[in-house]
Chain A
Amino acid sequence: MENLNKTPILSLKKLCVSYTPGKFAVNNVSADIYEGLITSVMGPSGCGKSTLIRAINRMHELYPDIRISGNIELKGRDLLHINPSEVRRMAGMVFQRPNPFPTMSIYDNVLAGYKLIGIKQSRHEKDELVESSLKSVGLWDEVKDGLSKRGSFLSGGQQQRLCIARALALKPDILLMDEPTSALDPIATNLIEELLVKLKKEVTIVIVTHNMTQAARISDYSMFMYLGELVEYDRTEIMFTNPSDKRTEEYLTGKFG
């Protein structure tokens, strides 16, 4: 087994998330996520895996009934105690269904992170950022002649890569992906998986997936969550060949989930 980088970039300490008081969707999760790697989060639906990564960029605060306790540190900064707007610019997110902004062109979609909050850039800066972001998701050659077209004209897979480019344009420290291929066909899925493996040089990736083979194919580390708890967190090869918890083994062998 190759040696992997073990510099923690994100650390979760005793993280709890509850929708209704007393019931924990994420229960006491502590883990270190390592820089420059892909970490997958697996588990049956309802296990709290989406809730976990949405706690990291504080997406939950859009829904005021949700309570979070514990500690999240990204590059040494306490995410629960800085403004969510800043948090979300350090931790980018890609969603289940591609959601390019339909009122914006492809060009503006890539720059949305700057446009939305009113940052002015020079034409040159913008052109460069758009080109480099689209190149890093392999979309440049496909769309460079139609940058002023609406993002919604692209295929599902292209839209999702546009959304990844949009997140990358902000140069985040970490990219959170919530089942990013579940709405895509196998070919588009394949393309995105290859892309992620390339992208991990630029950005640390945490990807929630219910697709075990996807986790096995692309991730360096894997988490297995069950009923809100982090059951097992280990090197992906170890997890898949020699899981230490019985529940992990049962899930991976298809006994439930």
Chain B
Amino acid sequence: MSDKIFRSLLLVSALILLLIFAGMFFSLSKGAVPAFREFGFFGFIFSDKWISGTGQSTEQYGALAFIAGTLMTSILALLICLPFSLPVAFFVGEYFRGKKVAGVLGGIVDLLAGIPSIVYGLWGFYALRPLIQSLGLSEQGFGVLTSSLVLAIMIIPYAASLSAEFIRMVPQELKEGAYSLGATRAEVIRNIIFPTSFSGIFSAYVLALGRAIGETMAVTMLIGNTSRIPRGLMDTGNTMASIIANQFGEADGLKLSSLIAIGLLLFLITAIVNFLGRLMIKRHSV
């Protein structure tokens, strides 16, 4: 094997990665064509009807209900995760930075990221759902809020560990400068550390949002599987990921194409969210 072959092998492997990504986009688009042809691209996106009738004529599919469900659950999850992940980030990245206790908490929070989605779903179903029922929040215990609570726990590690990194990166000299003017730690955090690391922290939450949008199993088990726009936080619904997980197995024809179309939309949404998040990180570190 000559160097030339070796170098081209490396290049080919990078090309394959590019091809995989391009191929994913292509295959999803191709699979989605029948659905878009039937309902129109925007007609599909903006219709909240999901009727899988037996006869061809009654079939009607649209993504809006699931887009709504996805946005509701993931944004709510982000809001719930905020008051926990931000303290963790400051605990690890500032208050106890470099200390053993920060390592322990960081490790515990990281383990949260390791728990499989389906185990979260089980826990949500058998532990959280009864709690929601007994609080009288909803009769069945399923729904947007239940899903968001579990999603919030699932994305805490992503939001916290990345934010902690940006908090840690704030130069010590800036903090010392502020302390030398008589500021307390709270004042330094509020006026120096937070503004300096803000765009980084923001991007961490954008990436965490991306996680929440695409999370499948736990949501599938908790959201209640109804194919309409949720009418409130206690209502049931479906996310883009959960409708695919629920109905892909038995689907064919137009329905399969519609599910693939939802997959394409989900792929594009997460790609855009991740793209923005990464772009902000890049901007921040310059």
Residues of A at under 8 Å CB distance from B?
Answer: 57, 59, 62, 85-89, 92-93, 95, 97, 99-103, 112-113, 115-118, 163, 166-167, 170
Scan B141-177; emit 1 where CB is below 8 A from any A CB, else 0.
Answer: 0000000000000000000000000000001011111
Chain A to chain B contacts (Cβ below 8 Å), 21 pairs: A59-B176, A62-B176, A62-B179, A85-B183, A86-B182, A88-B179, A88-B182, A89-B181, A95-B177, A95-B180, A99-B173, A99-B177, A100-B177, A102-B196, A103-B196, A113-B181, A115-B191, A116-B182, A116-B188, A117-B187, A167-B181
Q: How many residues of chain B have a CB within 8 Å of chain A?
A: 19
- Given A99-B173, A101-B192, A103-B196: A116 and B180 interface contact (C-beta under 8 Å): no
Other than A59-B176, A89-B181, A117-B187, give 11 A-B pairs with Cβ distance below 8 A: A93-B180, A95-B173, A95-B180, A100-B177, A103-B195, A112-B181, A113-B182, A115-B191, A116-B183, A116-B188, A117-B183
A89 and B174 contacting across the interface, CB-CB below 8 Å: no
A-B contact count (CB 8 A): 67
Contacts of B181 in A (CB 8 A): 88-89, 92, 112-113, 116-117, 166-167, 170
A59 and B179 contacting across the interface, CB-CB below 8 Å: yes
Interchain nearest-CB distance for B96 vs A (Å): 11
A112 and B178 contacting across the interface, CB-CB below 8 Å: yes
Residues of B at under 8 Å CB distance from A?
Answer: 171, 173-184, 187-188, 191-192, 195-196
B183 and A99 contacting across the interface, CB-CB below 8 Å: no
A167–B191 alpha-carbon span in the complex (Å): 17
B173 and A117 contacting across the interface, CB-CB below 8 Å: no
Contacts of A92 in B (CB 8 A): 180-181
Interchain nearest-CB distance for A146 vs B (Å): 20
Contacts of A118 in B (CB 8 A): 187
B178 and A59 contacting across the interface, CB-CB below 8 Å: no
Q: Which one of A87, A89, A99 contacts B171 once the chains associate, using CB atoms below 8 Å?
A: A99
Contacts of A167 in B (CB 8 A): 180-181
A116–B175 alpha-carbon span in the complex (Å): 11
Interchain nearest-CB distance for A202 vs B (Å): 18
Interchain nearest-CB distance for A65 vs B (Å): 11
Question: Which residue on chain A has the smallest CB distance to residue B191?
Answer: A116
Contacts of A85 in B (CB 8 A): 182-184
Interchain nearest-CB distance for A108 vs B (Å): 10
A101 and B177 contacting across the interface, CB-CB below 8 Å: yes
Contacts of A87 in B (CB 8 A): 182
Contacts of B177 in A (CB 8 A): 95, 99-101, 163, 166
Question: Which residue on chain B has the smallest CB distance to residue A88?
Answer: B182
B188 and A101 contacting across the interface, CB-CB below 8 Å: no
A100–B192 alpha-carbon span in the complex (Å): 11
Contacts of A97 in B (CB 8 A): 173
Q: Most chain-A Cβ atoms within 10 A of its Cβ — which of B175, B177, B179, B195? A: B177
Contacts of A166 in B (CB 8 A): 177, 181
A170–B184 alpha-carbon span in the complex (Å): 16
Interchain nearest-CB distance for A121 vs B (Å): 15
Interchain nearest-CB distance for A240 vs B (Å): 30
Question: Which residue on chain A has the smallest CB distance to residue B184?
Answer: A85
Interchain nearest-CB distance for A183 vs B (Å): 11
A239–B136 alpha-carbon span in the complex (Å): 82
Contacts of B188 in A (CB 8 A): 116
A97–B172 alpha-carbon span in the complex (Å): 11
Ranked 7 nearest A-B pairs via Cβ: A89-B182, A93-B180, A113-B181, A103-B195, A116-B183, A99-B177, A99-B173
Contacts of B184 in A (CB 8 A): 85, 117
- Given A99-B171, A102-B174, A116-B191: A57 and B183 interface contact (C-beta under 8 Å): no
Interchain nearest-CB distance for A210 vs B (Å): 18
A163–B177 alpha-carbon span in the complex (Å): 9
Contacts of B182 in A (CB 8 A): 85-89, 113, 116-117, 170
Interchain nearest-CB distance for A58 vs B (Å): 9
Q: Most chain-A Cβ atoms within 10 A of its Cβ — which of B176, B178, B179, B184? A: B179
Contacts of B173 in A (CB 8 A): 95, 97, 99
Contacts of B179 in A (CB 8 A): 59, 62, 88
Q: Most chain-B Cβ atoms within 10 A of its Cβ — which of A59, A97, A99? A: A99
B180 and A101 contacting across the interface, CB-CB below 8 Å: no
